[in-house]
A and B are shown apart, each in its own frame.
Chain A
Amino acid sequence: MLHIFCPHCGELRSEEEFHASGQSHIARPLDPASCSDQEWGEYMFFRDNPRGIHHELWDHVAGCRQYFNVTRDTVTYEILETYKIGEKPQVTAADKQEAAPVIAKGQGEKV
């Protein structure tokens, strides 16, 4: 069971209170009418699926019912930070690579 820090409630809560809502920081095109089908389709349906650092939207459904952002490592499930909507992440994939250069390259390689 993960303990997740809700930035609105200001304390760690158990994972079962939360709901994951996919990738965060997806900007809606300012003028949807002028988008090509490909641009709109990519905004609508295509999501990153990184191995490592991922920024996600989570919803504290059982508590304050607010969405917030989570930086999570998809390999270890470790949650590195949580921050409110509109704020910038402190940890990004670029930082993490410098700090931890051990990354499996081949398919099926053990980490």
Chain B
Amino acid sequence: MSAINVYQQNPGADAKAQSPLHHADLASLVGKGRNNAGVTLREKKFLGHLTLRGDGHDQAFAGGVHKALGLELPVALTVVANGDTSLQWVGPDEWLLIVPGGQEFAVEQKLREALDGQHIQIVNVSGGQSLLELRGPNVREVLMKSTSYDVHPNNFPVGKAVGTVFAKSQLVIRRTGEDTWELVVRRSFSDYWWLWLQDASAEYGLAIEA
């Protein structure tokens, strides 16, 4: 076992933290805009994002992940969730684990313990990406305007997650409920997505939720 420097990367509540959309001051926009908005946006900020890599065909790996998280490794293009913890297939040997903010250190230690001795990688990418939740009857129309990927329910059931092109960049689209979708975005692109989503959802009405 090589010596891996695993340490608490979350500075805790005492440190002042700014979310990727801090500058947009979403809190001040809550309750403004049209009534019965077709799209409701919520920034799911300060969550723990961990990239997990390993051999999905290896029973020891799949079993270790299940033991540590209580979640089965999802198959291609799917996301599984248990409460606020979600595990998403990203590639044939890569998964994205999102846990409530502050839990990432404990979860990483638990995973490393369960997968001890295996050829794996766990990287905390919490600072690099963020989650935007879109909810409402018109979210699908907003997505249809933004991506060439087919978001019709026949092709995009609840629990599906795909990385694709979106507007002029790329992100991951996850469908977490009938009318609820999540976008996994790069932190550095969050302002672009904020501007894009405001524009794309203007005709349906956009409501902000804190």
Contacts and interface: CB of A to CB of B under 8 A. Distances in A.
Contacts of A78: none
A63 to B, nearest CB: 5
Given A8-B92, A10-B76, A11-B77, A65 B149 contact: no
Contact of B76 (A8, A16, A17, A61): A8
B164 A66 contact: no
B26 interface: no
B148 A16 contact: yes
Interface string B156-178: 00000011110000100000000
Interface of A: 1, 8-11, 13-14, 16-17, 61-66
Given A9-B76, A64-B94, A65-B94, 17 more contacts: A8-B76, A9-B77, A10-B76, A11-B77, A13-B164, A14-B148, A14-B165, A16-B148, A16-B165, A17-B164, A61-B170, A62-B163, A63-B163, A63-B164, A64-B91, A64-B163, A65-B91
A65 B148 CA distance: 18
A66 B162 contact: no
B92 A17 contact: no
8 contacts: A9-B77, A9-B162, A10-B76, A13-B149, A17-B165, A62-B170, A65-B163, A66-B92
Interface residues on B, range: 10 to 19
Contacts of B165: 14, 16-17, 62
Interface string B66-86: 000000000011000000000
Contacts of A62: 163-165, 170
Contacts of B90: 64-65
Could you tell me the dominant secondary structure of chain A's interface residues? Answer: loop
A35 B70 CA distance: 52
B92 A64 contact: yes
Interface of B: 76-77, 90-92, 94, 148-149, 162-165, 170
Contacts of A13: 149, 164
Contacts of B170: 61-62
Nearest to B89: A64
A46 to B, nearest CB: 31
Contact of B162 (A16, A63, A65): A63
Contacts of A8: 76, 91-92
Contacts of A66: 91-92
Contacts of A10: 76-77
A12 to B, nearest CB: 10
Contacts of B148: 1, 14, 16
Q: 5 tightest CB-CB pairs across the interface, nearest first?
A: A64-B91, A62-B170, A63-B163, A14-B148, A62-B165
A19 to B, nearest CB: 11
B154 to A, nearest CB: 13
